[in-house]
Structure 1
């Protein structure tokens, strides 16, 4: 028990693809979580900028009746 012997084990295609799929799934979930935390505030800022009304032009001359 104190010493170990290297196992003569075979990792078949099912177990290998399952391990790769699991690793890619974990990495994908982490990346998707990071992107969602960044994307939501950016999306809110863009929407707020689009909804803000444009300021009226200051260079428009006043009509003669208001002078």
Structure 2
């Protein structure tokens, strides 16, 4: 979540995860997806560590796609 700004819930996945709209810090594009922190609590196998204590979500393991919001 440290790399995201303007985070707001917009719905739920069929699997019960919260969907959020957000922007990555410094970028204008709005995305819709899940947070690694929430996914970690329910599907730890779908989260991978990155340098500096960051995390990434493997959307394929959740049967989801992060999408760009127009």
Which of the five TM-score ranges fits, normalised by the shorter chain? under 0.3
Bigger Cα Rg: 1
Provide the TM-score with structure 2 as the length reference.
Answer: 0.17
Which of the pair is proportionally richer in strand? 2
Provide the TM-score with structure 1 as the length reference.
Answer: 0.18
Which of the pair is proportionally richer in helix? 1
